[in-house]
Amino acid sequence: MRPALIIIDMLNDFISGTLKTEEAISTVKPTKKAIDVFRRRKYPIFYVNDSHYNNDFEIPLWGPHAMKGTDGAKVYEEIKPEKDDFVLEKHAYSAFFQTPLDYLLRTNGIDTVFLAGLDADICVRHTAADAFFRGYKIYVIKDAVAARIDKNWEIYYKKVYNANIVYSEELEKII
Ligand SMILES: [Zn+2]
C-alpha cells in the first residue's frame, strides 16, 4: 500500500464559522492524529480546500462560505499545513473536480487514499466517488469526519465505494 492522507475542507467556516455543525469540532483531534502518523511515515498529505468565487455553482445553494482570501477559507489553526504538504483549492464538492489531485497522487505513486474532513455525506463523499472512479482504494477515518445530512453514511461508502471505515487510533498499524 502506498497511501496519502486527503484532508477536505477543515476550514474555519466549516468548524467555527458560517457552515459549522456541532460535530465538526470533534474531528480536529483525530485529524491531527492522522496527520502525525502520515508525517512520521513520510507519506504525502493533501489539504484540499474550498476557496470559492462568488459565481461558483454551489454558492446559491449554501450561501457564501470559505470565500477565497477570507479567514473562513483558512485551514483550522490546530491542523494547518506544513512546508512539504500539498495544498489545493477547489470550487465544488469533490477534491478531484478541476484540481490537480489525481495527477499529484499518480506522480507520487499513490494507490490508496485515507479521507478526513467535512462533510462525510457531501464533500468527502463526492471525493470518495471520484477516487473510486479512478481506481484508488479508499479508507475513511471515521472519527476525523462528520456528517451534515445523512448520519448513516457508512453503509453507502461500504456498499458503493468498497471503502474501509477505520478510526484514527488504528492508523499506526494500518499504514
Ligand atoms: Zn463549498
* Spacing, Cα 143 to ligand 1 middle (Å): 21
* Spacing, Cα 106 to ligand 1 middle (Å): 25
* Spacing, Cα 40 to ligand 1 middle (Å): 31
* Spacing, Cα 42 to ligand 1 middle (Å): 30
> Domain with 105 in it: what CATH number?
3.40.50.850
* Spacing, Cα 47 to ligand 1 middle (Å): 14
Task: Give me the phi and psi of 66, to 5 degrees please.
Answer: 45, 50
* Spacing, Cα 170 to ligand 1 middle (Å): 30
* Spacing, Cα 58 to ligand 1 middle (Å): 6
Distance set, CA 4 to CA 68, 77, 113 (Å): 25, 21, 5
Single-letter code of the amino acid located at 59: I
Count: domains in the chain: 1
Each of the 175 residues of the chain gets a pLDDT tens digit; together they read 999 999 999 999 999 999 999 999 999 999 999 999 999 999 999 999 999 999 999 999 999 999 999 999 999 999 999 999 999 999 999 999 999 999 999 999 999 999 999 999 999 999 999 999 999 999 999 999 999 999 999 999 999 999 999 999 999 999 9
Question: pTM of this prediction?
Answer: 0.97
C-alpha cell of residue 23: 460535530
Q: Residues for the chain: how many in total?
A: 175
Q: What is d(CA 31, CA 130) in angstroms, rounded to the nearest whole number?
A: 21
Q: Smallest Cα–Cα separation from 127: which of 147, 141, 113? A: 113
* Spacing, Cα 162 to ligand 1 middle (Å): 26
- Domain range holding 76? 3-174
Are 7 and 111 spatial neighbours (Cβ–Cβ below 8 Å)? no
